[in-house]
Chain A
């Protein structure tokens, strides 16, 4: 009888090292995030809240465009859809907001999947074109008199800020902050699982070489529409939360600048990068505000220059840049 020797487990020292680093960093950031709302002003809490919300939306767009290669220049539509769904449910149907949010998500999931069907027939450029048209038409569609009963047309819908439940000692702003943070952590965790699963690999394979992916037996239609649906889900939930945070939805808040901003966000943060969504969200929240004070034209100009700059100089976005820097730093650390 043959004796088999089992292989000794070789610890992947370097990997574990980096993995622990990442976990430590995430835990640290999370702890910091939990402390901040007790030391910052209400306005800053609001801004950070919006950063979390924008991060969710960017993760959504990134799943579709960065990981799956389907270019969407009209993702503001899902953001608006989520926002309006939540607003209408809360305002007109007295639905508790904690139920309205998942409803927004579900509605967007379905519509995203439906959008994904005709999108199957549109390649890169043409999909960009169709979604661009959608983004431009969005305010007009939202103002349509036919659905004014629900949307209140141009005036929009105003919501009340939700108070903290169970008499928790939190202000409304702080409660919303933690709600968004919680949802963000959950969504990021799910996204990470999707991306590292075989679904994620299939989605990326479709981006890189659809013909080869199909030849390997990957069902293009199923994965592409699923990607669209999930992407819409994320952005829709973000939209719903934004309705609660801003307390106001109106057609003109969802113009092409929102969709374009999302695109800028994922380019700046880094395509096909989950952490990149956060950097992109930071950029989108803080830079245009500053730019607006200089001139009305400035935000657009900055978006344009930043886009071109990143394309030529930092094509992997901030996340890619940080990743490379981190690798070079840790590489020197583990040298004997």
Chain B
């Protein structure tokens, strides 16, 4: 029983990580209906930025906020410069551009920072909360920060006009323009937010998996699976999906298939969700009239 609880707690912790990156993915999807294959690498670059700042002597939380802000700006820039041109292009072209971005970012990080693994600091204390044996402070911190982020996002989309405008621009950009919404600005905003969330995810993950240019590739697959499981257009769903997947992965690894095939759990989840229920647990089922 203790072993089981341990696995669940560890699963929730890793799940928190998947959830936070999944949030960024959902963000981009909600605003542009694109799936950003390069999200992981963007997050990784943001984390390296934070690492450089901390190494230069900037206190952790200042570096954190600065990184988030800069990532936001860079995200907006990428949309304006790179993505805008292929907005209306066929799917294959868009996918190719995203993959290309992933390659470039990965190699850039490798060239500038090298491939040796680096340590990244955690803002949370060393001792586990209340001395419990199941989950340490950082892991709990990840869960809490993720829940807070999703809460803020949910409120933003549901209750603010800007959130509604973002959703409208994604649902029907022509009609949105006819309502007076500047669609280009909305797209930039969406990308900026996604980049910011990704930066947060990266900074949360790095203390656990250590910092190197390839740290996000496995996590990205899990994040995709989580986002799909929860519903690619639902922030709350992404988070629930993330936690579910983390626990599922850990339990499957411990009791069913052994630890080497863990990544395959993500793959199976992706295929299963897409085939059985493409809208995920909480996503809206899209009805199209032909």
Residues of chain A at the chain B interface (Cβ within 8 Å):
65, 69, 71, 73, 118, 121-122, 124-126, 128-130, 132-134, 136-137, 140-141, 143-145, 211, 256, 260, 263, 267, 271, 295-301, 303-305, 307-308, 311-312, 315
Given A133-B266, A140-B264, the answer on whether A122 and B274 have CB atoms closer than 8 Å is: yes
Q: Do the beta carbons of A69 and B92 come within 8 Å of each other?
A: yes
CB contacts (< 8 Å) of A136 on chain B: these are 217-218, 221, 263, 267
Chain A residue numbers with a CB within 8 Å of B107 are: 297-301, 304
Q: Is B236 engaged at the interface, CB distance under 8 Å to the other chain?
A: no
CB atoms of B264 and A141 under 8 A apart: yes
* Residues 249-263 (chain B) with a chain A CB within 8 angstroms: 258, 260-261, 263
Cβ of B35 < 8 Å from any Cβ of A? yes
Compute how far the CA of A305 lies from the CA of B108 in the bound complex, rounded to whole angstroms.
11
- The one of B34, B260, B270 in contact with A144, judged by C-beta atoms closer than 8 angstroms, is B260
Q: Which residues of B contact A (CB under 8 A)?
A: 34-35, 37, 82, 85-86, 91-97, 99-104, 106-108, 110-111, 115, 213, 217-218, 221, 224-225, 228, 258, 260-261, 263-264, 266-267, 270-271, 274-275, 278, 290
Shortest distance from the beta carbon of B234 to any chain A beta carbon, whole Å: 16
Contact indicator A296/B115 (Cβ below 8 Å): yes
Q: Are B274 and A304 neighbours in the complex by a CB distance under 8 Å?
A: no
B111 adjacent to A311 (CB under 8 Å): no
A304-B264 contact given A126-B274, A136-B217, A137-B221, CB 8 Å threshold: no
- Contacting pair B103 A118 (CB below 8 A): no
A126 and B103 contact, CB distance less than 8 A: no
Are A304 and B102 in contact (CB-based, < 8 A)?
yes
Q: Which of A121, A128, A301, A311 contacts B103 (CB 8 A)?
A: A301
Shortest Cβ distance from residue B221 to the other chain A in the assembled complex, whole angstroms: 5
Q: Indicate if the CB atoms of A145 and B221 lie closer than 8 Å.
A: no
CB distance from A305 to the nearest CB of B (A): 7
Contact residues of B: prevailing secondary structure: helix
A288 to chain B minimum Cβ distance, whole angstroms, is: 12
Of the candidates A128, A144, A301, the one whose C-beta lies within 8 Å of that of B95 is: A128
Closest 4 CB pairs of A and B: A304-B103, A304-B104, A301-B107, A124-B91
Residue of B101, B261, B271 contacting most chain A CB atoms (<10 Å): B271
- Report yes or no: A140 in contact with B261, Cβ–Cβ below 8 A: yes
Note all chain B residues with C-beta closer than 8 A to A297. 106-108, 110-111, 213
Residues of B within 8 A of A121 (CB): 274-275, 278
Identify the interface centre among B85, B101, B263, B266: most chain A CB within 10 Å of its CB.
B263
Distance, CA A124 to CA B92, complexed state (A): 7
Chain A residue at smallest Cβ distance from B37: A132
Complex Cα spacing A144 to B278, Å: 29
Closest approach, in angstroms, between the C-beta of A254 and any C-beta of chain B? 14
The complex places the Cα of A125 from the Cα of B110 at a distance, in Å, of 28
Residues of chain B with a CB closer than 8 A to A118's CB: 271, 274-275
CA distance in complex: A133, B290 (Å): 31
C-alpha gap A267/B221 in the complex (Å): 24
Assess whether A133 is in contact with B261, with CB atoms less than 8 Å apart.
no
Cβ–Cβ contact B275 & A308, under 8 A: no
- Besides A140-B264, A308-B82, 6 new A-B residue pairs in contact (Cβ under 8 A), listed by A number: A121-B274, A133-B224, A141-B261, A141-B264, A260-B103, A304-B103
Q: Which of A73, A122, A301 contacts B111 (CB 8 A)?
A: A301
Contact A304–B221 (Cβ < 8 Å): no
Q: Which residue of B lies closest to A306 (CB)?
A: B100
Q: In the assembled complex, which residues on chain B have CB atoms less than 8 Å from the CB atom of A308?
A: 82, 97, 100-101, 104
